[in-house]
Amino acid sequence: MSDVSFVRTEMLPQQEPPGSSVGVVGWARANLFDGVTNSVLTIVSLILVYFVLEGLLTWTLQSVWNASSLTECREIMTATWGKTHGHACWAVINDRWLQLLYGFYPPYPAEAGVNFGENTGAWPAYFRPNLSFVLLLIAVAPVLFDKVPRKLLIVTAVYPFLMPWLMWGGSIWSPLMAAAGFGIGFLAYRLLTPVIGGLGGIIAAIALPVIWWLFLTGIVAAGLESVVSISIPEVESRKFGGFMLSILIGVVAIGCSLPIGIVLALGRQSDLMIVKTLCVGFIEFIRGVPLITLLFVASVLLNVFLPPGTQFDIILRVLIMVTLFASAYMAEVVRGGLAALPKGQYEGADSLGLNYWQAQRLIIMPQALKISIPGIVSTFIGVFKDTTLVSIIGLLDPLGLSNAIRADAAWNGIYWELFAFIAFLFFVFCFGMSRYSMYLERKLHKGH
């Protein structure tokens, strides 16, 4: 027999893991104090975080909210805490936040020069920009989230015409007539196709609205205005400013650049040599120069390129250039999506007998755009951030306004509070967009 003196006959009961490897202690040991280097890093980081938070929280929270000038702010600080630095003077935001948000846009839907006295801040102050913003949210909701009722897409379709009217004011007939151009194009296609054939229908559907917009819209709108006058007071472009301006430029550039970018990307991917060369030339040119040079073009050169005597306002010129800029980047992102699509998808579309546009619409684009969502959103974020550059050519975006506020004797020398406020607002928008892109990626992930 063997010498084994002891053999266990029953299984041991399962034991709890040691106390040092579960719970908070276990987590901290695994993630913070795993080895000497890691522990040192943790301690150094903790000290760093402590000092930053200590300074930052004191600065943010122990602050002055009510003062009419920086000097008064400093007096209050000296009286309360005995020193003037290390505490924020949010009074400047309290004093000027309306300006930082809306620039010099008139608070009331009214003529210039009308003084509202003590009513100036009351509802419906800034009714028009606020309504535009709310409508914007409603208009993009059905595009962004598929749980929103589809009927809201009507708002999306109307918005491009409604927004300029609300913001710039004037007669309602101009945006209505501009929208009518699309109706004319649609009708022309429907009615003329049976008569003059498919190709003729398409040409008519493009040519007639263009003629309408170029030559007739103004006359018809003026005529209708003289018959039935429905108009709201006009607001000049130079009064636009603040975050309203950033959002306006950002939204218009983003909205227009996606379709233009898709067309450019298709052109760049196509077999037609001349079309391809033109698209490549445009994209590489725009991507090779900084936005600021394009803004210089907008501010000093664009009028030179147009027929003599053309004068149109600086915001429109900036919108055009920023849109062109964004389109080139968008085209590259979409092209990346097109290139990433397996060749089998193109061949599959061909073998089903789809023509080029059908294949693009039903098979290629849905997949290519899905692949390029992260890139598209980061282009959006980039464009939105780049709207700050307009301050260099003298438009009053938040950064431009911060200089204007500093030029006021009461707030001369105030930096951090203004920068913090502006940075915070940009951060909220951009961070929100990047989170949305992550959500969309997860949602559209149809793979395993």
Partner 1 sequence: MTTLTDPPKASFRLSMLIYDTRYRSLTIQAVAMIGFMLFAAWLINNTMTNLETLGKTPQFGFLLEPAGYDINQRLLDYNSQDTHMRASLLGLLNTLLVAVMGCITATIIGVLVGVLRLSKNWIVAKIMTVYVEMFRNVPVLLWIVLAMAILIESLPAPRAFRGENPEATMNLFDTVAVTNRGIYVPEPLFSNSLGNIHLLGQSSLRFDVSVDLMAFLIVLGLSIFGITKVNARAKHIQETTGERPKTIWVNLGLFFVPTGILMALLGFHLGYPELKGFNFKGGTHMRNSLIALWLALSLYTAAFIAEIVRGGILAVSHGQTEAAEALGMRSGRTMRLVILPQALRVIIPPMISNYLNLTKNSSLAIAVGYMDITGTLGGITMNQTGRELETVLMLMLCYLVISLSISMVMNWYNNRVKLVER
Q: Which residue's CB is nearer to partner 1, number 54 or number 284?
A: 284
How far apart are the C-alpha atoms of 434 and 381, rounded to whole Å? 8
Q: How far is CA 129 from the centre of its chain?
A: 16
The reply on whether position 273 binds partner 1 by CB under 8 A is yes
Q: What is the dihedral of CA 252, 246, 132, 106, to 10 degrees?
A: -130
How far apart are the C-alpha atoms of 424 and 217, rounded to whole Å? 43
The 226-265 site mask, x for binding partner 1 (CB under 8 A), equals ----------------------------------------
CB 123 within 8 A of CB 137: no
- Who's near 407: CB < 8 A, 6+ residues apart? none
Task: Pick the binder of partner 1 from 92, 249, 389, 401 (CB under 8 A).
Answer: 389
Which ranges constitute the DSSP H helices of 270-313? 273-288, 291-296, 302-305
The 304-343 site mask, x for binding partner 1 (CB under 8 A), equals xxxxx-----------------------------------
Q: Which residue's CB is nearer to partner 1, number 153 or number 297?
A: 297
Stretch that binds partner 1, among 57-65, 113-121, 136-144, 282-290 (CB under 8 A): 282-290
The 7-36 site mask, x for binding partner 1 (CB under 8 A), equals -----------------------xxx-x--
Q: Percent helix, strand and coil across the chain, each rounded to 5?
A: 75, 0, 25
Give me 60's structure tokens.
Answer: 């943010």
Give min distance, CB of 199 to partner 1, in A.
6
- Tell me which residue of 134, 88, 117, 127 sits closest to 418, measured CA to CA: 88
Task: Pick the binder of partner 1 from 303, 346, 370, 440 (CB under 8 A).
Answer: 303
The reply on whether position 51 binds partner 1 by CB under 8 A is no
Task: Pick the binder of partner 1 from 59, 81, 296, 346 (CB under 8 A).
Answer: 296
The reply on whether position 54 binds partner 1 by CB under 8 A is no
Task: Pick the binder of partner 1 from 278, 341, 354, 410 (CB under 8 A).
Answer: 278
The 400-439 site mask, x for binding partner 1 (CB under 8 A), equals ---------------xx--x--xx--xx--xx--x-----
Stretch that binds partner 1, among 100-108, 173-181, 258-266, 294-302 (CB under 8 A): 294-302
Q: 3-class DSSP state for residue 430?
A: helix
For 269, counting Cβ atoms within 10 Å of its Cβ (0-12 exposed, 13-18 middle, 19+ buried), the class is: middle
Size of the site for partner 1 (CB under 8 A): 56
CB 339: neighbour CB atoms within 10 A? 12
Q: Which residue's CB is nearer to partner 1, number 367 or number 378?
A: 378
Give min distance, CB of 375 to partner 1, in A.
10
The 181-220 site mask, x for binding partner 1 (CB under 8 A), equals ------------------x---------------------
User: How many alpha carbons fall within 13 Å on the CB side of residue 56?
Assistant: 7
Task: Pick the binder of partner 1 from 392, 404, 410, 440 (CB under 8 A).
Answer: 392
Give min distance, CB of 391 to partner 1, in A.
7
Give min distance, CB of 413 to partner 1, in A.
8
User: How many alpha carbons fall within 13 Å on the CB side of residue 27?
Assistant: 2
Q: Which residue's CB is nearer to partner 1, number 95 or number 386?
A: 386
Give min distance, CB of 304 to partner 1, in A.
5
Task: Pick the binder of partner 1 from 143, 292, 362, 438 (CB under 8 A).
Answer: 292
How far apart are the C-alpha atoms of 257 and 246, rounded to whole Å? 16
Task: Pick the binder of partner 1 from 232, 297, 404, 444 (CB under 8 A).
Answer: 297
Stretch that binds partner 1, among 218-226, 278-286, 316-324, 437-445 (CB under 8 A): 278-286
Give min distance, CB of 153 to partner 1, in A.
30
How far apart are the C-alpha atoms of 354 and 363, rounded to whole Å? 10
Q: 3-class DSSP state for residue 139?
A: helix
Give min distance, CB of 85 to partner 1, in A.
9
Would you list the DSSP string of 22-85? SHHHHHHHHHT-SSHHHHHHHHHHHHHHHHHHHHHHHHHHS-B---SSHHHHHHHHHHHHS-SS
The reply on whether position 48 binds partner 1 by CB under 8 A is yes
- Tell me which residue of 174, 167, 297 sits closest to 239, measured CA to CA: 167
* Three-class DSSP labels, 166-227: HHHCEECHHHHHHHHHHHHHHHHHHHHHHHHHHHHHHHHHHHHHHHHHHHHHHHHHHHHHHH
How far apart are the C-alpha atoms of 328 and 296, rounded to whole Å? 18
- Contact residues for partner 1 (CB under 8 A)? 30-32, 34, 38, 41-42, 45-46, 48-49, 199, 271-275, 278, 284-285, 287-293, 296-297, 300-301, 303-308, 381, 385-389, 391-392, 399, 415-416, 419, 422-423, 426-427, 430-431, 434
